[in-house]
Structure 1
Amino acid sequence: MKMKKTLLIISYLSSLGSLFADVKLAPIFADHMVLQRDMPVPIWGTADADEKVEVSFAGQTLATQADAEGNWKVKFEPLESSKVGADLRVAGSNTITLKNVVVGEVWLCSGQSNMAGRFNEQKGRRMDPAVFESDVSGLRFLTRQGWRELNERSQSQISAVAFYFAYELYQQLDVPVGLLQRYNSATPIQAWMPKEKAEEIRQELGIPAGWNDVHEIRNPGVQFEDKIADIIPVAMRGVIWYQGERNAKAKTGWEYDRLLAFHIKTWRDLWAVKAGGAKRDFPFYYVQVPTQETPVDAEWPWLRDRMRRALDLSPNTGMAVFYDYGPSLHPDNKEPAGQRLALWALANDYGKDIVYSGPLLDEVKYADGKAILSFKHVGGGLKNKSGEKQLKFFEIAGPDGNYQPALAEIVGDTVVVSNESITEPANVRYLFRKPSPDAELSLINAAGLPASSFMTDDNKPAR
């Protein structure tokens, strides 16, 4: 009888305990994390309804109360960068202490398989051992298992593109760099939007229901709910993005400029709403997909051109041209992609006086049977990568739209394009679809950065 009473008491006390929820932090907050410097920093989690919560870090202590659903959030005033790890403390009915938290630059790294590609020694992909000859513990990244400091053991868990991007920043800025890794292979852009927003843009652009691509992991909203929703509104500097291959395969490459602009705006709006502040057009830098094959009828040329056009549809965006490391679906060497993304950030976000982009088509004029092309980002002057007088891979078309190989040469900061059989040129394109796909290109600037492929027509690909 005494034993039964004891068990009843234990059961009763346990049921009382279950009425009170421990204070918890959102999973993104964990030991070894990097917080964003120089801007307000939201910290959030759950607790009992109406429970008082106190959060302390770097000399700031903030108090709040959980709402009726048990959600709470505080927002630190802008923090100064710090390489020295410190404790972040959360106190309510229980206390949580995060260890070794530093302050620096935080970037969200998202997309599909080329962003997901990691260092794999079995596949011959290993980080240069020289990286570990200096202290890189301030370069940290978030995995599904928590935050990791970069070291020889953890290198297999970091995105290669994200690493090369972050390593450039880490060396140049001398502050901690944190990477929020959120990606999944073979996923289209609509999977990374909230479902209702994906449907909105699908209808606006007249894309068929099902997006020509019915598969569970590719469904609208699936990746957003699984990998993005729970990290909003984390404080971060911006986003790097490597995605588009799936849309080219599914015949939505031609619409990608408007899809990408819509996607960027959607994320920026969501961050602003959930952070409870003014909208910030945070940087969004992406890799122009270099793929030219597999499958051959995919909309690779249109995808690349629409990525270029998207720069004019969204503020504070940048594109790393990567054509010279194609034509495969998964280029082995991701270093140039990461480094070229870093150039955009170093110039636009960190004030470095550098050439950060290859030539981008700016304007086309037609005169005397020729097309005269001018460019942004000439970077000290236009050049032919091979050193030859004539540029390769240019085509020109008359009003009938029939493209012909063209003579193209650099004249000052312009490129003059012509074909003697076309007296009234109407459109020009560069690096369209080569008969034998390869990574060779022609036009670069004096800094060695390649020009983006382009087409001036607006013709929809055959579908």
Structure 2
Amino acid sequence: MINLKIILTLVAIAISTQISKADINVADIFSDNMVLQRNLAVKVWGSADPGEKVLLSFKGQKLKTKTDNKGRWSVLLKPMQAGGPYEMTISGKNEVVLKNILIGDVWICSGQSNMQWPVSKSNNAEQEIKEANYPNIRLFEVPRSVSNVPVDNIPFAKWKECSPETVKNFSAVGYYFGRDLQKEIDVPIGLIHTSWGGTCVETWTSKVSITKLPKYEDFGARIDNYDVLTMAQKFEDDLKEALGGFPEKEVGMKEKWMLPNTDRSDWLSMTLPTLWENAGYKRLNGRVWFSYDINLSAEQLDTTAQLHLGKIHDSDISWVNGQRVGGLNWANEVERVYPVPAQLLKVGKNNISVRVEDKYYKGGFASKADKLFLQLGEKKLPLSGEWQFKVDTVIPDFKPFPNDVPSLLYNAMIHPLIPYGIKGVIWYQGESNTPRSKEYELTFPNMINNWREDWQQGDFPFLFVQLANYQQPVKKPKDDAWAELRESQAKTLHLDNTGMAVAIDIGEANDIHPKNKQEVGNRLMLSALKVAYGKDIVHSGPIYKSMQIDENKVIISFDHIGSGLIVKNKHGYINEFEIAGDDKLFHWAKAKLDGDKIIVWSDQVEKPIAVRFGWSINPAEFNLYNQEGLPASPFRTDDWESMTDGLSFDN
């Protein structure tokens, strides 16, 4: 009897398996409420038993096909005009009916956290959500996941009508773009949101594409060998081995590790400056204390002293001889410069202690060695070298991270969408690539070409946001990685059918996620009207065109001046210009409007050869626009060595 029950159970399983296998399935991107791309031969695909006949009926079209030996099928719908709603029926041994389908324009919305940022956290969120009743806008959210191989499935995702219930956690930039665009062109809009905060462009690029680039030729094996299922445990085990175990609880502040007489005999050593991931402590998130002793002579002491620590990821508290001298929270782009009271320093041994906290990705000291020093009057005493350190807290978060190796998000969050018919892409990303901004000039266009080649829908419009202003304004002109990233973004406009929404005037000094996503979406929409729809409009602010030197002045010309240049200053002064001579030292410059050109000069530079504009992480006094109200894009006229030259994925 027991054997009979087992046999019957096995037969039932076999029958159910056969029934399951016989079911016709359509790819996950197809569901009720979807938008199909108008005026395009649209591919619909799915799976069934090998050799099964499939019939697809939609809007008068009846298409027949048969699955291949792997059970895959696809059909190609003839181009259709905008409209709906319609139903689609897919028949074989079973029948699938998809309802409430619209035909219109489909846009991919991708990037990192500023694209991921939801409507519920944008400006005027409560009112925006309340008014978000747009049944002709449809939303599709790709779940965040990683894979080292291309996948076809998008689990637990369905198209939804845009409503107050469905829009609140959807991409704010994507929604405001789609809403404004739908009002302009009056056709249904489909928005596919696929983004992940903190991610770099390399992870959004396929293995085939990224390994064609210099310095990435050998990454193929690293991608292939990245085991998503076991990597988390490996990260945890490796970190435990490197540290000799994890601390059970935080005690550093309670035990006052900042005091000079702290027993540090069991502390480890690390050569600073460096990010601790680069020192062998991968996946270390938490709180780490650093200590350094410096001997001072009576001759070195001065009435003015400053502690320079460079950039720290992400938060710090810093002490000199046990007394706090400074600290910043979540300010990884700010160079730490803390005044040190003269009475704190003494002849002989002086202790510097820094408590660094990092909760996400890489932590530690991010600047070069020349940024780490103690300044006493005019003297700079280097602090780079061996520091002692001790881990006080480990945040046990060892999940695979999209930036571990390239292609992880392309495989899991882009590949399953291909070749769904689309109109174009909007993209907001770049912050995570600022450590290698110069290389972005290569990696970003490469990703765009990668997507276009794989989609096989021509050079579809690709519209992107130039990074917004962020952090505290600088007091003196200097090189800046964010400025270099914006330059690399602007250079990407050499690709056909691209557009750039400049956001240099709508950022927030204290938040990398500015809340005014409405203006970002609207500026992307203007680019779409021009690039994707051929409207005769001014879609861009002024972009640098050329320069002419006239004795001690430089005359700057622009493209995209629209109805003319304007200065948002009642006195007519143009801010954020810098000028340099052949010594390559930049000085703040004066600038004035002369018709459609700008004249730039400085009393400190007799023979100028280079001009920079908005060349900092936060050109906070920005005030140059065209009369259509669109801001000028930051630029430089020189091609001198960048601070991120030569840096790539492993740096």
- Output the TM-score relative to the length of structure 2: 0.64
Quote the offset at 1:128 in angstroms: 2.3
The structure-2 alpha-carbon separation of the partners of 1:295 and 1:224, relative to structure 1 and needing over 3 Å to count, comes to farther
Paired residue for 1:230?
416
2:627 is aligned with 1:446: yes
2:210 is aligned with 1:198: yes
Q: C-alpha distance in 1, partners of 2:620/2:461?
A: 28
The RMSD of aligned alpha carbons is: 2.8
Quote the offset at 1:100 in angstroms: 0.5
**SS of alignment partner, residue 216 of structure 1:** coil
Match of 1:427 among 610, 625, 634: 610
Question: What does the per-residue CA deviation read over 1:320-357, in whole Å, with 9 as the maximum and x for residues that have no partner?
Answer: 00011124311011111100000011123224332111
**SS of alignment partner, residue 126 of structure 2:** coil
Q: Please list, as runs of the form range in 1=range in 2, the aligned pairs for 1:120-135 lying within 5 A after superposition.
A: 120=120, 125-128=125-128, 131-132=131-132
2:108 is aligned with 1:108: yes
Paired residue for 2:339?
none
Question: What does the per-residue CA deviation read over 1:287-338, in whole Å, with 9 as the maximum and x for residues that have no partner?
Answer: 11114339999711111111111112x1110110001112431101111110
Paired residue for 1:245?
431
Between 168-177 and 237-246, the greater mean CA deviation after superposition: 168-177
Match of 2:571 among 343, 365, 388: 388
2:550 is aligned with 1:367: yes
Paired residue for 2:88?
88
The structure-2 alpha-carbon separation of the partners of 1:125 and 1:367, relative to structure 1 and needing over 3 Å to count, comes to same
Q: Please list, as runs of the form range in 1=range in 2, the aligned pairs for 1:295-334 lying within 5 A after superposition.
A: 299-312=481-494, 314-326=495-507, 327=509, 328-334=511-517
Q: C-alpha distance in 1, partners of 2:46/2:550?
A: 63
Q: C-alpha distance in 1, partners of 2:473/2:407?
A: 26
Q: C-alpha distance in 2, partners of 1:254/1:55?
A: 49
Quote the offset at 1:125 in angstroms: 3.2
Match of 1:337 among 496, 520, 523: 520
Q: C-alpha distance in 1, partners of 2:519/2:124?
A: 17
Code of the residue aligned with 1:263 in structure 2: it is: M
The structure-2 alpha-carbon separation of the partners of 1:127 and 1:242, relative to structure 1 and needing over 3 Å to count, comes to farther
2:338 is aligned with 1:160: no
The structure-2 alpha-carbon separation of the partners of 1:378 and 1:189, relative to structure 1 and needing over 3 Å to count, comes to same
Question: 5+ residue gaps in structure 2?
Answer: 144-156, 224-276, 279-360, 363-399, 645-651
Q: C-alpha distance in 1, partners of 2:583/2:80?
A: 60
Q: C-alpha distance in 1, partners of 2:207/2:615?
A: 33
Q: C-alpha distance in 2, partners of 1:453/1:340?
A: 16
Q: C-alpha distance in 1, partners of 2:470/2:164?
A: 34
Code of the residue aligned with 1:414 in structure 2: it is: K
The structure-2 alpha-carbon separation of the partners of 1:168 and 1:45, relative to structure 1 and needing over 3 Å to count, comes to same
Match of 1:285 among 459, 463, 473: 463
Quote the offset at 1:199 in angstroms: 3.1
The structure-2 alpha-carbon separation of the partners of 1:167 and 1:46, relative to structure 1 and needing over 3 Å to count, comes to same
Aligned-residue sequence identity (percent) comes to 36
Q: C-alpha distance in 2, partners of 1:205/1:458?
A: 27
Code of the residue aligned with 1:309 in structure 2: it is: K
2:77 is aligned with 1:76: yes
Q: C-alpha distance in 1, partners of 2:612/2:496?
A: 25
Q: Which has the larger radius of gyration?
A: 2
Paired residue for 1:216?
401
The structure-2 alpha-carbon separation of the partners of 1:230 and 1:384, relative to structure 1 and needing over 3 Å to count, comes to same
Paired residue for 1:276?
none
Q: C-alpha distance in 1, partners of 2:549/2:611?
A: 10
| Higher RCO (C-alpha 8 Å, min separation 6) | 2
**SS of alignment partner, residue 468 of structure 2:** coil
Paired residue for 2:149?
none
**SS of alignment partner, residue 337 of structure 1:** helix
Contact 2:129-2:167 within 8 A present in 1 as well: no
Question: What does the per-residue CA deviation read over 1:397-447, in whole Å, with 9 as the maximum and x for residues that have no partner?
Answer: 11221111112111121112122443332211101127xx46431210010
2:439 is aligned with 1:255: yes
**SS of alignment partner, residue 109 of structure 1:** strand
Q: How many residues align?
A: 447
Question: 5+ residue gaps in structure 1?
Answer: 273-278
Paired residue for 1:459?
640
Contact 2:203-2:407 within 8 A present in 1 as well: yes
Between 334-343 and 40-49, the greater mean CA deviation after superposition: 40-49
Quote the offset at 1:390 in angstroms: 2.4
Question: What does the per-residue CA deviation read over 1:240-272, in whole Å, with 9 as the maximum and x for residues that have no partner?
Answer: 000000011xx1112222211111111101111
